[in-house]
Amino acid sequence: MRVVAAVSHPRDVQHVVRAHPVDIAVLAVGAGQPEFLEEAVDLLNARAELRLVAVAEVEDPALLARAVRMGFRGWVPKNVGVAALITALQEVRQGGTVIPPLSLTGLLAHLLDEERQQWEAARPLAALTPRERQVLTAMCRGASRQRIAADLAISPNTVRTHVQSVLRKLDVHSSLAAVTLARRARFG
């Protein structure tokens, strides 16, 4: 195992990955550097076989969840020694995933909380009629009432009635709040 480059800015990571046959990219991730997480998507789009490992400056279950969703295969706290980092890199290189037990506990608690929040947000959506669901889906896409009316072959007044019904059933007072609730529930 050898280090081919060390960079301090996210845009430089792309250049290194393209210029060298890199198996693993190790990225510092923390509150002050969220752009490295965003860079992960571009890296994996450029080289799907690349394995990403985060060296985490802080213990943040939400940040870890984002990293896992973006394709990171390893999560190593910054305060571990070099030997632990090398062991983690070897594990990831062999196809494994490395998340320390304490971090994994926080990740699972965070994911369960997200799931509970999503379920709670989705519960009122079950009361919507199929047409109200169509209207809400169009609202989530940013369609105007006129566009919704044209797409669904109904009058703008009927759209207004459906929107009012959606707001009432979701117990919100604006279209923006309805869309926010729908997105939180991963609807539409």
Closest CA to 114 of 187, 43, 185, 164: 185
Q: Please provide the CATH number assigned to the domain covering 10-118.
A: 3.40.50.2300
**pTM for the model:** 0.67
Domain layout of the chain by residue ranges: 10-118, 128-184
- Rounded to the nearest 10 degrees, the angle between the axes of helix 35-46 and helix 10-19 is 20
Rg of the chain taking only CA atoms, in angstroms: 22
CB–CB of 30/58 below 8 Å? yes
Q: How many CB atoms lie within 10 A of CB 140?
A: 15
The CA angle 103-108-110, to the nearest 5 degrees, is 95
Per-residue pLDDT of the chain (188 residues; tens, 9 = 90+): 777 777 767 677 778 878 888 888 888 887 666 666 677 778 888 788 889 898 988 888 998 998 999 889 999 999 998 999 999 999 999 999 999 999 999 999 999 998 888 788 778 899 999 999 999 999 999 999 999 999 999 999 999 999 999 999 999 999 999 999 999 888 86
CATH topology of domain 128-184: Arc Repressor Mutant, subunit A (1.10.10)
CB–CB of 32/20 below 8 Å? no
Taking the C-alpha atoms of residue 71 and residue 42, their distance in angstroms, rounded to an integer, is 11
Give the strands of the sheet with 72-77, arranged side by side.
Answer: 24-29, 51-56, 72-77
